[in-house]
Each structure stands twice: as structure tokens, then as C-alpha cells.
Amino acid sequence: MTRRSFRSAYLAAVVTLLAAPAYAFASEGEKFDPSLEFKTAPYFGELKVGPFDFSINKAVVYLLLTTVILCVGGIWVVRGGLKMKPTKGQNVVEMIYEFTENQVVRPVVPQKGAKPGMPRWFPYLATLFLFIAVNNLISFIPMPMGHETGTFPAGLPDLGLYAATANINVTLTLAIITFLATHVVGIKTHGPFGYFKTWVPHGAPAPVKPFVASIEVLSQLLRLVSLSVRLFANLLAGHLLIIMAGGFAVLVGSLMGALGIPFALFFYVFEWVLVAGLQAFIFALLSGVYIGYAIEAPH
């Protein structure tokens, strides 16, 4: 099969499968509810240890799948050693490396005094970018993990679209890691008193400093909201648009219902080609900005 025929076949399969989640929603006695695709019920029962829940659900499966893809992909590229005449896989890795270094790390993270070689904070920001990007990309591949898997139809898998990054718990956890890293590096660089002193401009009048400090504390806390909600809302909205447009075709039927398929396909291509990578880039870039701001000496 040629690359062009593979793309055509994949596109045809996607158009057919876009309505699969909606068709499940239209089963007897059930009201159409796209939010059901985002249910994260445990697959093997609840596994709780105190306040912590270690149950295996849909979000965990997608996170594990992303981890496997990144680990296996990295090992596959370097298994034969890096070559002067790079292979296709090595070309892709080098492009990602250069993009992350030149567009995410060096512009926002101060490198003064850093050791030669890999830029400071590159491993964390590159991992963050790749992890979110791969998570976002695979979320647009129909997989047999719909909310009715094993029951519809006749026990067959229910194909559906799902994004782990459309779960606020996932995006908030990533935001908390960046939040903690920001303050740890800030305290390590300037000392506890010196770091918190950077939150208030030197030239601010004394009566105004408490007010400025309170605004800075609020802005630090709002970073958690801006990082987590931006990624969560974009992926959730994109998947809902695709499912609802595909569902319109199934529920309405006839020629008018068929009009939903082009809309579903448009949202699908738009989200996969643009939004998936863009949101990963924004999350990693803002993380770098916050870390760089904490490292930079006070003005």
C-alpha cells in the first residue's frame, strides 16, 4: 500500500468512525450525551490507598500508552546509534530537539552560567512538550475504549475518541509540577528571602508594596488555573465538537444529517493538525517562562 492510498484509507476510516461514539449514545432508551465519552470508571474495580486512587481507568490507559510510545520510539531511534547520515527516525528526533531548544528553552530560560552542552531545563521542558503533544495526537485516533465497550453491539468494542488531557486532573497535575519547579529553582537561585523579595519591585513606594505583593501572590496561584484549564478546555471542546457533529449525522439521518460529517471532519483535521501541537507548545513555553522568571535576577 502506497503512502497516498494509506492516507486515503485512514481518512475514510476516520470519517466512518467519527459517528461511532454518537451511534452508541443513540442506543435504545439512552439520551444523546457526548459527555459520556469522558467517563473514567475503573476497568478492574477501585484501587484506593488512603486518599489516593490508583484505579486503572481510561485516562490512565492513555497516559501509559503515551509513555510506551515515547520510550519505545526513543529506544528504536537510538538502538543502532546516531549516524552522520541520519535515518528518517533520527531526522524526526533531531527536528523535535532543535525546535524545543530554539523555540521553547533558550528564548525564555536564562542560560548564563550554565554548563556547555544541553541547555538548562531542556530535559524537563522537552519531556513536557513531547508528553502533551503525543497525548493530544493519539486522542484523535478512534480506539476501542468507548463508554460501552464490551456491551455494544453484541459485546464488541465501542470505538471512541478520548483525550487524557481533557481530564482536569491530568492537566492540573502537570501544572502543579511546573508550579513546584518554578518556586524550587527560584529559592535555590536567590535564597528564600531573596526570591520572595523579587515579587515586589524595588522602586515601588512602601505603602504600595503590600498591595503589589498580594497581587503577585494571586498571579502565582492563577498560573495553576491558566496552565491547567487552557489545555483541558481546548481538548475537551475539540472532542465534544467532533462527537456532536458526528452524532448529528447519526441522530438526524437523511441528507440533512449527512451535513454533519463534513463539519466533524473539519473539526477533526483542525484539532489534530493545529490544536494538538499548539497546546503542547504553549504549555511547555509558559512553563519555561515561569521557570525563567524565577531564575532571572530581580530588577
Contacts of 293 (CB under 8 A, 6+ apart): 182
Nearest to 132 by CA among 260, 286, 289, 283: 283
Nearest to 121 by CA among 285, 248, 237, 1: 285
Q: Is the pLDDT of residue 150 over 50?
A: no
Q: Report pLDDT digits (tens) over 117-149.
A: 778 899 999 999 999 999 999 988 888 766 555
Q: Report pLDDT digits (tens) over 37-55.
A: 677 777 777 777 777 777 8
Q: How far apart are CA 139 and CA 164, in angstroms?
A: 8
For residue 253, list its beta bridge partners: none
Q: Is the pLDDT of residue 17 over 70?
A: no
Are 79 and 108 in contact by the 8 Å Cβ rule? The answer is: no
Are 159 and 21 in contact by the 8 Å Cβ rule? The answer is: yes
Are 158 and 149 in contact by the 8 Å Cβ rule? The answer is: yes
Q: How far apart are CA 175 and CA 92, in angstroms?
A: 27
Q: Is the pLDDT of residue 29 over 60?
A: no
Predicted confidence at residue 21, as pLDDT, reads 47
Q: How far apart are CA 179 and CA 171, in angstroms?
A: 12
Predicted confidence at residue 75, as pLDDT, reads 85
In the predicted model, what is the mean pLDDT of the chain?
79
Q: Is the pLDDT of residue 31 over 70?
A: no
Give Cα 127 distance to the centre of its chain.
12
The pTM for the full model equals 0.81
Integer-rounded Cα radius of gyration of the chain: 23
